[in-house]
Structure formats: structure tokens, C-alpha cells
Amino acid sequence: MSTFDDYIRSCAHNENLEAKVLGVGGSPRKGGNSDVLMQHIVRGVSKSGMFAGSLQLRDYRYGGCIGCERCRKDKICTGLKDGMTLIYPELIESRGLILVSPTHNYNVTAWMKAFIDRLYCFYHFEDSRPRQWSSRLSGQGRKAVLAAVCEQEKAADMGFTLDAMRLPLEALGYEIVGALPVLGIFDKGKVKKKPEVLSQAAALGAKLAESLLQ
């Protein structure tokens, strides 16, 4: 067992970390609708007394997975030395996770996609054919909520945005306890004029907190 595996395991069994939630925003636009949603989801978590913090991927310099496979041996991404090295500890030590992304071309933003791809390092692969795999984050009671914003009014125009976040997190061992699709909004910060949506965002955060306390 590597030192990094020991670190992940210790975080998972540290009772002081059970109430910690990390929000990860994938919008390139500062102060936009995704940021506003994140703020209200985090507030919903915080009202329970849990610690909830957030970061915006646009503030970090990092690249997508380059497929070097060094993480198979090192148990963490060592093929790239960039901003993800600052994010990994925050993610590992947070039992709760919030992902928020606007819809770009029927999918998550490039920032969110690169972030998700860099979580590949948490998989363990067997030397079998077909290759069997497991996640080193699974079985730790990790839970997440998702939110996405789309300019168009039809759900179909949101495309794969929510699934592009949900499916990878489920594979990593997260239970998705709720998702909020927000349609028909584009102008910067316009969601602030939608109190029902902001209420739903806060309720989503509260739902995550309640789930983590169970």
C-alpha cells in the first residue's frame, strides 16, 4: 500500500472530515449564473453547521489527462505538475462534493471536463482482460450534488451536461443525492432575479448536508 493510499484511507476514516463539503465551479465567467448557484448551494450546506468551501477552476492553471499512466504506479497524478496538485487534497478530505457547470455545446465546460478527466488517478486497474477496475474513493460515504445552467429553455438543449458530471462521480464511488438543471438563463447574474431557483439551490445544499449527517 502506497503512502498516498494510506492518506486517502486516513481521510475517509477521520470523523472530523465527515462534515466537510467542497464546491467545484466550472464556469469561465466570474460572477456569472453558475457562481451565484454555487454560492447558494454552499449556503444551504453551511446552514446545517457543516463546513462548506468552494473553488473556481478558472483560477487554476492545469491541463487535461495526458494518458501517461504514471498514476497506476504512483496512485496520484505525477505526470503533470500543475494546479490540480492544489485541488487533490481538498477533494480527498471532503466527503461532500458540489459540481456546477454551465452548458457549453451540449456538455460541461472544458475546465470541468479536464478536472473530471484528472480524477482518473483514483482508479485502480487489475492486470486482467477485460481489465477490471475499482475506485479508491469508493466505500467512504462520499456524496455529491450537481447543478447546470443552460441558456435554452428545452431540457434537450442542456445535452449531456448533468450526465457528464454524474456518471464519472458515480463510477468513483459518490452517491448523487440531487441535481438542479436551470434552463432559460444566460445574461450574467440573471439567476439572481429568480428567487425560486435560488431557493432550490439552497435546498439542494441542505439536502446534501442532511444526507451526510445520516
Condensed to tens digits (0 to 9), the pLDDT of residues 7-45 reads: 665 554 554 445 699 999 999 999 999 999 999 999 999
Percent of the chain with pLDDT over 90: 85
> pLDDT of 39-84, one tens digit each?
999 999 999 999 999 999 999 999 999 999 999 999 899 999 999 9
| 151/48 Cα distance (integer angstroms) | 32
Give how far Cα 119 sits from Cα of 16, 44, 64, 125, 168, Å: 24, 26, 10, 14, 9
The CATH number linked to 59 is: 3.40.50.360
Give the rounded percent of residues in the chain with a pLDDT score beyond 70. Answer: 91
**Residue 192 belongs to a domain:** yes
Asked if residue 112 belongs to a domain, the reply is yes
Mean pLDDT of 96-118: 98
pLDDT surpassing 60 at residue 1: no
Show the beta-strand stretches assigned E in the chain: 20-25, 51-56, 96-102, 123-125, 133-135, 143-150, 175-183
**Cα separation, 186 vs 39, whole angstroms:** 17
- The pLDDT assigned to 130 comes to 82
Any domain includes 18: no
pLDDT at 214: 86
Mean pLDDT of the region 92-98: 96
> Is residue 23 a part of any domain in this protein?
no
Average pLDDT over the chain reads 92
Identify whether the C-beta of residue 41 lies closer than 8 Å to the C-beta of residue 147: yes
CA angle 133, 90, 178 (to 5 degrees): 70
Domains held by the chain: number: 1
Helix segments in 130-194, DSSP class H: 161-172
Beta bridge pairs of residue 125: 133
Cα(first)–Cα(last) distance of the chain, in Å?
30
Residues 6+ apart with CB under 8 A from 141: 12, 18, 95, 212
Tell me the C-alpha distance between 82 and 98, whole Å: 22
pTM above threshold 0.85: yes
Q: What's the rounded mean pLDDT across residues 109-124? A: 97
- Is 20 part of a structural domain of the chain? no
Q: Tell me the per-residue pLDDT of 165-184, one tens digit each, with 9 for 90 and over.
A: 999 999 999 999 999 999 99
Q: What domain range is 153 assigned to?
A: 3-8+29-213
Within a domain: 168: yes
In a domain, 19, yes or no: no
Q: For 158-171, what is the mean pLDDT? A: 98
Residue 96 falls inside a structural domain: yes
